[in-house]
Amino acid sequence: MISTHHAQKRCQQRALNKHALAVIASIGMPIEQKGGTSIVRLDRAELRSWVAALNEVMYLLFSNASVVGGLKKRKIKIVKQLLRYLQTSNQPYVVVDNDEDVLITCGHAFELRKVNP
C-alpha cells in the first residue's frame, strides 16, 4: 500500500507503525465515505478473534526454539505492538482511497461508528 506524505506524518505523530496499518487495512471493515474514500477499522467481534489469534502467535513464538536471536525478538516486538494497538480503548483506523491502493491518513478513533447498520 502506498502512503501519502500526509499519511506518513500522521502515522509518525500518532505512533502507528506500518505493520499495524497493513494489518488493519487488510482485515478491517471498510466504511464508505464521500469523495471516493473509505475508513477502515475493526468491529468488536473481529477484534476479539484477532486478539485471541495474536495471543496464540505470541505463545508459539515463545515456545518455538527454531526461531533464533534477533529475528525472534523482532517478531515478538511486532506482535506485542499490534496487540497493544488492538487492545486500546481508542482503536486505530486508516482512511484509504477506493480507486487506488493509497493510504490517505490514519489515527485513533475517539468515537465509535457503527460498522453494521
The rounded Cα 97 to chain-centroid distance in angstroms is 17
CA–CA distance, 80 with 58 (Å, rounded to integer):
8
**Which residue has better confidence, 40 or 19?**
40
Residue 112 above 70 pLDDT? no
Domain ranges, residue 44: 2-108
| pLDDT tens digit sequence for 43-96 | 888 888 888 888 888 888 888 767 667 777 888 888 888 888 778 778 888 899
* 28 inside domain: yes
* 98 inside domain: yes
pLDDT of residue 72: 79
CA–CA distance, 14 with 62 (Å, rounded to integer):
29
* 22 inside domain: yes
Q: What's phi and psi for 95, nearest 5 deg?
A: -115, 125
* 16 inside domain: yes
Element (H, E) at 25: helix 18-27
* 117 inside domain: no
3-class secondary structure per residue, 44-83: HHHHHHHHHHHHHHHHHHHHCCCCCHHHHHHHHHHHHHHH
Q: Which residue do the cell numbers 464508505 mark?
A: 32
Count structural domains, the chain.
Answer: 1
Element (H, E) at 15: none
